[in-house]
Amino acid sequence: MSKTDSKYKNIKLTTAENIIFRRLVYISFITVFLIVVPLVLLYTQGYRYNFKRGKVQKTGIFIVSSIPKKADVYLNGKLIIGDQTPSRIEKLLPADYEIKLTKDGYHDWTKKLQIYENSTTFAEDVILWKNNLPIQIAEHNIISWLTSPDNKKSTFLTSDRNIISFNFDNKETHTIYQANEYANPQILEWSNTSKKILIKSNNNYLAIDTERYYLQPVKISNDNYQSIKWSLNNDNSLYALNASGVWKIDLFTGDKKLIFNKSISDFIINNDFIYYYYKDIIYKQKISDTNPEIIDGVKCQDCKFLNHDFSKLILANIKSQEFFIIDPELKNKTIKREAKNFSWLNQNTLLFYNDWEIWIYNLEKKEPELITRIGSGITEALWHHEGRHIIFTSEDSIKIIELDNRELRNIIELFKGKNISHLTINNKGDNIYFTTIIQDHEYTMELNIK
């Protein structure tokens, strides 16, 4: 065999079938490239195929934070491993998700939130409430309890006629007066300074300094007063109403002066104006003037003005659960509601409640907002000072409701006891105070919630 023959002995001819195969492979690679690369790009840009909806959708983001931090995050019952609040969870398909935050020593927080396409859903600064048992502060048979306007202390009357002051910050209690010589004493109201209280016993009145409780109470002479109210601007002055009209009483000198000579049902004085209720009509009048201005007509038997320095007037009969909100500047715009009590958040916002419902009313809006309706009955309700939650009692339980309008409002039971009453909260918003019955004895309790 020659060298030339051995050089070409392994040469194979390219057939038509080989050409077709190579072209198919080439086209397949191109096809895969054209399909996969866009999919990868879509994936990296946050697109996913939604099997439930049968289409490709841009995903969303969920950002959640809590107070306190480092709470575990669950999505639809599954723990997000390695991720605690504050947390940013990306690439979530648009849908409704059940979000749950858990932390040892705290009540769980659960909410159903919607994740939207190409957008971010926030649940920021979610408050987790401590899961604690209350501690006993003192044993008292309390007849009445009244918290100061600044929510730093309370004064209560015991069955043995002791007037006791309780400081929320240092937990100190002081007997500021022993009312043995008075029959049926009552705590009427705090001064706006949160320093003094007004006590009534039949037709006798006492003004007591709760900070300098070693001073003797100022006794106010009995002149058949129908009602006495603190000056809104000065805790050394009182206004009193009897058949002759409205009197101004100076607690320093003991002097009194008739400043409004007219028999009326009730009144409130703010700066130079007196607002009064007489024969189903609400009037406004400058004290130095004699010409009254009619605000509105209201029928309310035994109604009283509540002594608050706010832009709106409150006329109420707590016993009959009649409640009127009056705008002194807008005539004939009085709003009537059924309410057995209420709690102010600020100058423009209050909550009020009856036996079954809790409402919030922003005075700048036309209508109040129904927060919840409870068939088991509501005994007391008040604001948490941040304005994002309401604390209330129902079925001998203390509960807190979140004012988040998304999905259902969370209601958490903080404590269940017996005959819970005198519900209040300190100005820091971290402790709730109340009375409850334990083994046939009434105790004042403190429940730390934050």
User: How many degrees, rounded to 5, is the angle at CA 215 between CA 221 and CA 206?
Assistant: 25
**Which residue from 145, 151, 155, 210 is spatially nearest to 430, judged by alpha carbons?**
151
Reduced to 3 states, what is the DSSP secondary structure of residue 37?
Answer: helix
Q: What is the mean pLDDT of residues 28-47?
A: 58
Q: What is the pLDDT of residue 440?
A: 85
Q: Does residue 31 register a pLDDT over 80?
A: no
**Right CATH number for 55-127 from 3.30.830.10, 2.60.120.890, 2.60.40.10, 3.40.50.300?**
2.60.40.10
Q: What is the mean pLDDT of residues 342-364?
A: 90
Residue 20: in which H helix or E strand, if any?
helix 16-44
Task: Please state, rounded to an integer, the average pLDDT across all residues of the chain.
Answer: 86
Q: What is the mean pLDDT of residues 390-400?
A: 95
Provide the residue ranges of all domains of the chain, joining segments of one domain with +: 55-127, 221-338
* Tokens encoding 172: 């100190």
Report phi then psi at 275, rounded to 5.
-110, 130
For the chain, what percent of residues have pLDDT higher than 90?
48
> How many angstroms separate the CA atoms of 328 and 239, rounded?
20
Do residues 281 and 242 lie in contact, with contact meaning Cβ atoms separated by under 8 Å? no
Identity of the amino acid at 169: D
Q: What is the mean pLDDT of residues 146-150?
A: 92
The CATH classification number of 221-338 equals 2.120.10.30
Q: What is the pLDDT of residue 1?
A: 46
Our measurement of the distance from residue 35's CA atom to the centroid of its chain's CA atoms, rounded to an integer in Å, reads: 55
Question: HSE (CB half, 13 Å, CA atoms) of 370?
Answer: 8
How many residues would you count in the chain? 450
For the chain, what percent of residues have pLDDT higher than 70?
88
pLDDT digits (tens, 9 = 90+) for 281-317: 999 999 988 899 999 999 988 899 988 877 888 999 8
